[in-house]
Copies of this chain bind each other. A is one copy, B any other.
Amino acid sequence: MSSLSVEAGRAPESGIIEVVNAGRDHPDLIPLWAGESDQPTPAFICEATKTSLDTGETFYTYQRGLPELREAIAAHYRRTYGVPFEAAQVCVTGSGMQAIQLAIQAVASSGDEIVIPTPAWPNMAAAAELRGVKTVAVPMDIAESGWQLDMAKLEDAITDKTRAIFLNSPCNPTGWVASLDDLKAVLEMARRRKLWIIADEIYGLFHFGGDGVAPSFLQFCDPDDPVLFVNTMSKNWVMTGWRLGWIAGPARLGQVFENLVQYSTSGVPAFTQRGAIAALTEGEDFLSEQVELARKGRALLLDGFAGNNRVQYAAPDGAFYFFFAVEGVTDTRQFALDLLKETGVGLAPGTAFGTGGEGFLRLCFARRHDHLEEAVGRINQFLQRG
C-alpha cells in the first residue's frame, strides 16, 4: 500500500483540539481552552469586508498583500514602538500560523534544527517537524518571581545544525515577558552564531508586568538584522476566524516571502484584507478596550484563586493566559477531560505545550468576566471535591 510521508504520519493531533472536540456539545460549557475572545469581530471591521465584496474585489490579488494593508501594518509598528518600519518589510499571510510555517521554510531544511524555549504553543514545533526540522526544547524555569529563560541553557542547545531561535514573548502559555536585556542577549547570540530569530510578539500589547507595551526586538534591532516577525490580526482585534497575519523582516526578503506565499496559498482574499485595514486604521480604541478587559480578567482570576492553595502559578506578566498547576495532579490531559465533563469548564491541558508544560493547565482570560467568575467558582468547587 502507498504510505504517508514520515512527517505526516507522525504529526500529532493538537492536544488542545482533542479536548475541544470532546466538549463542543457540553450543555453547560464555558470554553476557556482557546486563545480567543468571546466577542465576535466588531461591525466596523466586518462592514469594510462587506463593502469590498459589494464592489467586486473577488479576484486574485497581490501575493504580498494589498499595498494599503502592508502600509497599515508598518504604521502600526511605527506607532506602537516609535521606530521606523516600512511596508516593503511586510508580507501578508493567511494567519499567524502560516507566517510561522513560511518563516520555517525560509530558514530551515529537513535535518536542520530550531531551538525553542518551552513550555510553548505547540503548533510551532509541529510545523517544523512536518518539514523534517528538529525542534530542540530549552525548558524554562519557574521561580517565585515568574518564569525565566536561562541564556546559558539557550546557547548550550545550539548546534551546528541550528538555523533559528524561536522566541515567543509575551509567551503563550506561560505569560512570561522577556526583558529588553533578554532580547538583546538573544539578538547578540543570533548575530554571533549566524542564526535567525523567529520572533512571535503577537501578544505585545497585552502587557501587565510594567508600563506600556512589552519589550520588542523592534525597539533596537536594525532593519537588516536576522529577525523574522510573525504576527496575526487574531488577538488584538478579535479576528481569530479571519485567518489573517503577516511576516515581516529585512526588506531584501520581499521576493522570497512572495514566492513562499505563491507556492502555499497564493495570497489572501482582498476582501478580508479590507477588514484588516479597517482594524488597523480605526481600531485603536477597540484595542485599548480589549487590553483593559484582559487586565481585569487577569485580576479577577488572581483574586478568585487566591484562597486556593492547590492552584499554583506564576502570575502572568503578558499575553492572556493563566497557566497553573494543581497540587496532586500529574496527568493534566485527563484532568482537563474530567473537569470538562464534570463542570463544563474547558481548559487546555499543559501536555499540549511541550517539555515542562505537562503539569500545567491553560485558561484564557480574554473572556467575559461573568464567565470567568463562574469558571473559577466551578474549578474551586471541583478541586474541593477531588
Determine the distance from Cα of A272 to Cα of B28 in the docked complex, in whole angstroms.
29
Contact (Cβ within 8 A) B263 A243: no
Contact (Cβ within 8 A) A1 B264: no
A226-B1 CB under 8 A given contacts A243-B265, A263-B123: yes
Shortest CB distance A4–B (Å): 6
Shortest CB distance A133–B (Å): 9
Identify which of A5, A97, A101, A109 gathers the most chain B CB atoms within 10 Å of its CB: A5
Determine the distance from Cα of A9 to Cα of B256 in the docked complex, in whole angstroms.
7
Determine the distance from Cα of A269 to Cα of B276 in the docked complex, in whole angstroms.
14
A343 within 8 A of B: no
Contact (Cβ within 8 A) A265 B6: no
Q: In the complex, what residues of B have CB within 8 A of residue A266's CB?
A: 95, 97, 123, 243
A41-78 interface (Cβ within 8 A of B)? 41, 46, 49-50, 53-54, 56-61, 63
Contact (Cβ within 8 A) B269 A5: no
Stretch at the interface among A153-161, A188-196, A295-303, A325-333: A188-196
Contact (Cβ within 8 A) A41 B60: no
Q: Which range contains the number of A residues in contact with the other chain?
A: 35 or more
A173-197 interface (Cβ within 8 A of B)? 190, 194-196
Contact (Cβ within 8 A) B11 A226: no
Contact (Cβ within 8 A) B258 A105: no
A136 within 8 A of B: no
Determine the distance from Cα of A38 to Cα of B97 in the docked complex, in whole angstroms.
32
Shortest CB distance A47–B (Å): 9
A26 within 8 A of B: no
Contact (Cβ within 8 A) B17 A262: yes
A337 within 8 A of B: no
Q: In the complex, what residues of B have CB within 8 A of residue A7's CB?
A: 105, 109
Determine the distance from Cα of A13 to Cα of B259 in the docked complex, in whole angstroms.
6
Stretch at the interface among A124-132, A281-289, A307-315: A124-132
A248 within 8 A of B: no
A112-B239 CB under 8 A given contacts A263-B101, A265-B98: no
Determine the distance from Cα of A40 to Cα of B55 in the docked complex, in whole angstroms.
9
Residue on B nearest A55 in the bound complex, by CB: B40
Shortest CB distance A50–B (Å): 5
Determine the distance from Cα of A132 to Cα of B41 in the docked complex, in whole angstroms.
39
Residue on B nearest A41 in the bound complex, by CB: B58
Residue on B nearest A46 in the bound complex, by CB: B53
Contact (Cβ within 8 A) B241 A270: yes
A75-105 interface (Cβ within 8 A of B)? 94-95, 97-98, 101, 105
Determine the distance from Cα of A11 to Cα of B196 in the docked complex, in whole angstroms.
19
Determine the distance from Cα of A98 to Cα of B93 in the docked complex, in whole angstroms.
13
Partner of A267, one of B63, B194, B243: B243
A36-B8 CB under 8 A given contacts A264-B98, A265-B94, A269-B241: no
Residue on B nearest A270 in the bound complex, by CB: B241
A381 within 8 A of B: no
Contact (Cβ within 8 A) B58 A54: no
A-B pairs with the 8 shortest C-beta distances? A40-B56, A110-B110, A2-B226, A41-B58, A11-B259, A46-B53, A58-B241, A127-B263
